[in-house]
Amino acid sequence: MNKLSSLIKGIILLLAYLVVQLLERQGVLLPYHVQILSLCCINVILVVSLNLINGFTGQFSIGHAGFLAIGAYASAYLTVVWQAPFLFAIICGGVLAGIAGLAVGLPALRLRGDYLAIATLGFGEIIRVIILNTDAVGGARGFSGIPKYTTFGLAYLMAIFTVVVIRNFVTSDYGRACLAVREDEIAAESLGVNSTYFKVLAFTIGAFFAGTAGALFSHYLQYMAPTPNQIGFVKSIDILIMLVLGGLGSITGSIVAAITLTIIPELLRGFAEYRMIIYPILLIIVMIYRPAGLLAGNELSLSGITQFVKGARAHGNHT
């Protein structure tokens, strides 16, 4: 049953990709739409990786854009200055972000709650200021002339890879330990779970994926500016909003929220000044009616959907 459902999911994902490719070739989907879809995939990676830290391990990090920045700039430097292959640059970006995650996580994760939030916020700003003052990556001018290597196919594949790895991590022994730390750190410690180890582990994995998302992002936009809304705290907050809206601790929730919140501002673009009023109102409405997020810690699954459909049908038959 399990194998079968994985196969079905695989086929659905492949079909989705083929449909996008076909529609693009037919001219139904314009480069504009494909670009938005690529951005959706990048945001999915960012939100799902933050979910591992904030949702599953229960730490409150608001410096995720710092890892994105490391991945974005490191990979861009590799492809522009050293003409490195893109895939290698993505991995390097991810690994460097992971190392930074480890370096920050070791001291910072001894802190809890508000203190951790402030420490990660500080970390994010440090990264931004370092980039701002590094002439090799353009400094305050920004890094321009990055080749456009990010295709929809690649972003899509990376997003699937991220989701699969993080889902498997969460359902493994390690993931259970992370969940235990989230639920009650003292109880987990008393059962022999080394809480610092698992917190740092989750943090490092999250940072790694944020770094790969950064690499995809810089080769998608072709220009990185060290502004707060590009790699600073504004970006971190954007990712956090997507996460909270989707529901902490729900991978499918993160995916749905990342995609929705990437597309909505696009749909609202015609409203000019009112756009940034309508968008927050939508967020407020969701938070009032779904305070724990869209999926509130639950997952969407194939069997869940089939059962829901069956239930609806059965219900329909009764009335």
Partner 1 sequence: MSHVKLKTMFICLMLVVALAVPGFAQEDVIKIGLITSLTGSVATYGQSVRNAVTMGVDDINAAGGINGRKISLVILDDKGDATEAAQAARRLIDRENVAMILGPVITPCVMAVAPIAQAAGLPMLTPTGTGDQITSIGDYIFRGAYKDSFQGRIMAQFAAENLGIKEAAIIYDVANDYSVGLRNAFKATFEELGGKIIAEESYSTGDTDFSAQLTSLAMRNPESLFIPDYYSTAGPILMQARLLGLDSVMLGVDGWDSPDLSALAGGFEEGGYIVNHYSADVDSEVTQNFIARYTEKFGQAPDALAALGYDGVLIMASALEAAGSTDPEALKHALGTVGDIDAATGVINMDPEGTPIKSAVILRITGGKWELVDRIDPIGR
CB of 211 to partner 1, least distance (A): 18
- What CA dihedral angle connects 133, 135, 141 and 146, to 10 degrees? -120
User: Closest CB to partner 1 among 192 and 270?
Assistant: 270
CB of 230 to partner 1, least distance (A): 6
Yes or no: say if 52 and 206 are a contact pair by the CB < 8 Å rule.
Answer: yes
Q: Does 184 bind partner 1 (CB under 8 A)?
A: no
Yes or no: say if 65 and 239 are a contact pair by the CB < 8 Å rule.
Answer: yes
User: Closest CB to partner 1 among 202 and 257?
Assistant: 257
x/- track of binding to partner 1 for residues 12-31 (CB under 8 A): ------------------xx
Q: Does 222 bind partner 1 (CB under 8 A)?
A: yes
Among 315, 244, 313, 305, smallest CA distance to 8 is for: 305
Q: Does 272 bind partner 1 (CB under 8 A)?
A: yes
Yes or no: say if 55 and 201 are a contact pair by the CB < 8 Å rule.
Answer: no
Among 25, 269, 315, 318, binds partner 1 (CB under 8 A): 269
Spatial distance between the Cα atoms of 241 and 79, rounded to a whole number of angstroms: 31
Among 28, 129, 284, 309, binds partner 1 (CB under 8 A): 129
If binding means CB under 8 A, how many residues of this protein chain bind partner 1? 33
Q: Map the footprint of partner 1 across residues 276-295, applying CB under 8 A.
A: 276
CB of 45 to partner 1, least distance (A): 15
Using DSSP's 3-state secondary structure scheme, residue 144 falls into: strand
User: Closest CB to partner 1 among 21 and 196?
Assistant: 21
Spatial distance between the Cα atoms of 248 and 54, rounded to a whole number of angstroms: 7
x/- track of binding to partner 1 for residues 148-167 (CB under 8 A): x-------------------
- The pair phi, psi for residue 143, each rounded to 5°, is -100, 110
Q: Does 126 bind partner 1 (CB under 8 A)?
A: no
Among 13, 23, 36, 99, binds partner 1 (CB under 8 A): 36
Q: Map the footprint of partner 1 across residues 132-151, applying CB under 8 A.
A: 132-133, 139-142, 144-145, 148
Residue 305 CA from chain centroid, whole number: 24
Q: Does 258 bind partner 1 (CB under 8 A)?
A: no
Among 207, 235, 168, smallest CA distance to 45 is for: 207
Among 117, 110, 83, smallest CA distance to 237 is for: 117
Among 275, 287, 296, 298, binds partner 1 (CB under 8 A): 275
Q: Does 307 bind partner 1 (CB under 8 A)?
A: no
Using DSSP's 3-state secondary structure scheme, residue 223 falls into: strand
H helical segments located in the chain: 2-26, 31-50, 64-81, 86-108, 113-132, 152-171, 173-183, 185-190, 195-221, 228-231, 233-246, 251-267, 275-289, 302-318
User: Closest CB to partner 1 among 182 and 219?
Assistant: 219
User: Closest CB to partner 1 among 21 and 35?
Assistant: 35
Contact set with partner 1 (CB under 8 A): 30-33, 35-36, 39, 129, 132-133, 139-142, 144-145, 148, 221-223, 225-227, 229-230, 265-266, 269-270, 272-273, 275-276
